[in-house]
Structure 1
């Protein structure tokens, strides 16, 4: 799927990342809050967190519009993916797999380039794979006999920043969100699930092994790999859309 590229970098002894701009010269990014405020006059565009108006239904209404294209140089992996919403479903599957809890209304958007408007590549996945956990907590969740604290329970707690309705008290859990989103485009959802099924587990292991020494602890690596394995199992084991 189209995505922002990130490269580890060091500048004056400060670690960070280099990420090429996803917005072409002469184009501009219209974040989700701006896009939704354009079609919903009462949308709280400037609210930062707990935005109950950031609902699946509103996102679907926006992205199902055939006038919104795919990113340039990206071609659908199947004829079942025909709208920007179908592509966004892939983003939601990714969020579920990696336990990304930060798909708020400024973490997705549209790009306008000349007369063309298209869905921006997915970006900003930092709030995923238990990045805020300490190694002590990771180790406990991997080894504990308390099923309420085990990583298998932990992965089920991941929540998106997208609500089912404007009256919902909490955003949807990531898997619930994907399943509900999939009901609106079941064929494209099955395509994304098939792509996930085709990813060998060794590919994830190899990816973590490529990280420079000292960038991730062995415990954090083990935790992330177990999280990915469990969420893949949950996605593929859920009722088919």
Structure 2
């Protein structure tokens, strides 16, 4: 099982993270490294699951060789959440996507996070990433930052992440610019639906799960398209060598490796992390079906 780190006694850093809707706080571990603690939203209307979803996707990204922030399950004073390790060193700075887009277009609505953001599309992202290179820590260095960003779109479509808004990616300047590792994946793997809905989908079978996935929309991109449509749009901007890489990676994904990641998420107990059997099973089906959907969409374009 993945460890759940108790950060109750960690030192609070002076900076508070203001972005997003979840309570967040920068903390320092015993070695002085900084981690962002993010609470898992928990209320009667929207069941908590952002903690296990974010941890699962950080691990699944490794299977696709997509650079992602290091994430651990955590609790702080009894509150469930995750900690995400700071990937920006003291000599560097992170420039978020909305800042890049607004610098390129002063009329761009950089303060709008969701709900059909005008001008937030794959072509605009490709344009602003043009001067930069891919993440330096990846296992395979792509030619450009957009090549790396396309990997984030593949990951999003696979894990059903609907929240790749313009502050959920960026460029690390130190002093030249490279794509930041992918981060903030809590809105993935149907984290927010009830177990009753999950059981209903599983009982209905693959065709119904596929239809349900096809109806899903992103919350941020212009026109609120399906995540798979955004990935296909990005496919048009990468060269044949990169296309081959992604087809190979998707083809070579092993169900056993995917299952191992999900099976290591604690189900219950003192850790406070709750991933029910029905949720775990639906996650596996989502990943299996979305991998097939991705291969079908990308090989026919």
TM-score of the aligned structures, taking structure 2 as reference length: 0.71
2:186 aligned partner? 126
2:79 aligned partner? 14
Note the C-alpha offset of 1:159: 2.2
Distance 1:145 1:14, change over 3 A: closer
Note the C-alpha offset of 1:152: 1.6
Give the match's secondary structure for 1:238.
Answer: helix
Mapped partners of 2:185, 2:205: distance in 1:
30
* Segments ≥4 residues shifted beyond 4 Å: none
Distance 1:16 1:99, change over 3 A: same
Mapped partners of 2:243, 2:153: distance in 1:
10
5 Å matches for 1:1-40?
Answer: 1-40=66-105
1:105 paired with 2:172, answer: no
Residues 15-37 of structure 1 show CA distances to partners (whole Å, capped at 9, x for unaligned) of: 21121102111211111111111
Give the match's secondary structure for 1:19.
Answer: strand
Q: Is the 8 A contact 1:86 1:189 kept in 2?
A: no
1:42 aligned partner? 107
Distance 1:20 1:174, change over 3 A: same
1:213 aligned partner? 267
Q: Is the 8 A contact 1:109 1:120 kept in 2?
A: yes
- Larger RCO (alpha carbons 8 Å, 6+ apart): 1
Task: Give the paired residue count.
Answer: 227
Correspondence for 2:214 among 145, 156, 161: 156
5 Å matches for 1:131-142?
Answer: 131-142=191-202
Distance 1:146 1:27, change over 3 A: closer
Give the match's secondary structure for 2:85.
Answer: coil
Distance 1:14 1:62, change over 3 A: same
Distance 1:12 1:58, change over 3 A: same
1:92 paired with 2:150, answer: no
Unaligned runs of 5+ in 2: 1-65, 269-273
Unaligned runs of 5+ in 1: 164-169
Distance 1:116 1:195, change over 3 A: same
Q: Is the 8 A contact 2:150 2:235 kept in 1?
A: yes
1:57 paired with 2:123, answer: yes
Note the C-alpha offset of 1:138: 0.5
2:136 aligned partner? 72
Residues 106-129 of structure 1 show CA distances to partners (whole Å, capped at 9, x for unaligned) of: 11111112x211111000111111
Note the C-alpha offset of 1:146: 11
Q: Is the 8 A contact 1:151 1:227 kept in 2?
A: yes
- Pairwise CA RMSD: 1.8
Give the match's secondary structure for 1:185.
Answer: coil
